[in-house]
Every structure is written in C-alpha cells, then in structure tokens.
Amino acid sequence: MSEEVFRWVITIAVGLIWLMTMVTAGAALAIYRTSKRTHRKIEPLLDKAGPILDGARSLVDDVRPRVREILDHASEISGSARDQVARLDALVTETTERARLQIDRIDLVVEDTVNRVQETTALIQGTILKPVREVNGLVSGLRAALSAMARRNRASVDHATQDEEMFI
C-alpha cells in the first residue's frame, strides 16, 4: 500500500475515533443531566425517608431481643410438648395393656361361671328332676292301677273277652 493511501486510512480512522469520542461525550453528558434531574426529584423523598428508616432501624433493634426470647420460649414449649406426648403415649400403651389383661381375666371368669351354671343345671336335673320323674311315674302307675281296678269291677263281658284275646 502506498504512503498516500496509508495517510488517508489513518485520517479516516482518526476522524471515526474523534466522532465516537464526541458521541460518547454526548451520551455521558445526557446521562449526567438525567441523573441530576432524578437526584433533584428524589432528594425530597430521601429527606423524608431518612427519619422513617432511622425509626425502623431502632424498632428492629428493640424488637430483636424480644423475638429471640419468643423463639426460645417456643422452642422450650415445643420440647415440653414432645415430652408430654411421649408420656401420654406410654400411658395409653400401658392402659391398653392393662385393659387387655382385665378383659382376658373377665373372659376366663365368665367362661368358668357358664361352666359352673351348666354343671349346676345338670346336677339339679339329676338330683331333683330324677326323683320328681320317679314320683310322677309312681303316681301315674298308681292311677293306672286304680283306674284298672275301678274298671274291673265294672268290666263287661265284651271287654273281658277282648283282654283275653290280646294275651293269646
């Protein structure tokens, strides 16, 4: 490349650099003006927000120990509740076991009572009802004998013939 072309390329490059520098300076100036306007609009808000933020900071500082205390109490209550639930669980388990044992005992007592009632019923039937049946049978036999004797005296000839035919 010749020296003259080289100078033209360098001149164009310097011109482009100068143009880019001017554009950058203009953009920086625009940003500066915008930030100044924004600062003017926000400055009254900052003056008002400062005391509010200070108050909030002091409130947080005051509340922080109380919050820690509340969290500590909540932790203690939670631990106590866990212990109580464990005790209650043990009590319910023990009570259930005792109730189960008592039910088993009651079952055995009821079964024994039913067996004794059945034995007593059988004994009563054998001891009282057997003699009653025997007496009832004896009374029935006496009635039949008395009835038979009463009929003999009145027996007709036809009846006597029938009785004899039955024995033959």
Does residue 168 belong to any structural domain of this protein? Answer: no
At 30, give phi and psi (nearest 5°): -65, -40
Average pLDDT in the chain: 86
Cβ of 155: how many Cβ atoms within 10 Å? 13
What is the percent of the chain with per-residue pLDDT over 70, rounded to a whole number?
A: 90
**Cα(7)–Cα(14) distance, rounded to whole angstroms?**
10
Which of 59, 63, 61, 62 is closest to 71 using CA atoms?
63
For residues 7-31, one letter each, b for 16 or more C-beta atoms within 10 angstroms of the residue's C-beta and e for the rest, the string is eeeeeeeeeeeeeeeeeeeeeeeee
Does residue 149 belong to any structural domain of this protein? Answer: no
pLDDT band at 160; cut points 50, 70, 90? low
Provide the number of structural domains found in the chain: 1
Question: How much is the pTM?
Answer: 0.39
pLDDT in tens, 45-88: 877 888 888 888 888 888 889 999 999 999 999 999 999 999 99
Does residue 120 belong to any structural domain of this protein? Answer: yes
What is the percent of the chain with per-residue pLDDT over 90, rounded to a whole number?
A: 51
Radius of gyration for the chain, computed over Cα atoms and rounded to the nearest angstrom:
62
For 159, residues 6+ apart whose C-beta sits below 8 A from its C-beta are 151
Does residue 152 belong to any structural domain of this protein? Answer: no
Question: Range of 118's domain?
Answer: 3-136
**Using H for helix, E for strand and C for coil, what is the string for 35-92?**
HHHHHHHHHHHHHHHHHHHHHHHHHHHHHHHHHHHHHHHHHHHHHHHHHHHHHHHHHH
Does residue 71 belong to any structural domain of this protein? Answer: yes
Does residue 115 belong to any structural domain of this protein? Answer: yes
Average pLDDT for residues 115-136, to the nearest whole number?
Answer: 86
pLDDT in tens, 13-54: 999 999 999 999 999 999 999 999 998 888 888 778 888 888
Does residue 46 belong to any structural domain of this protein? Answer: yes
Does residue 131 belong to any structural domain of this protein? Answer: yes
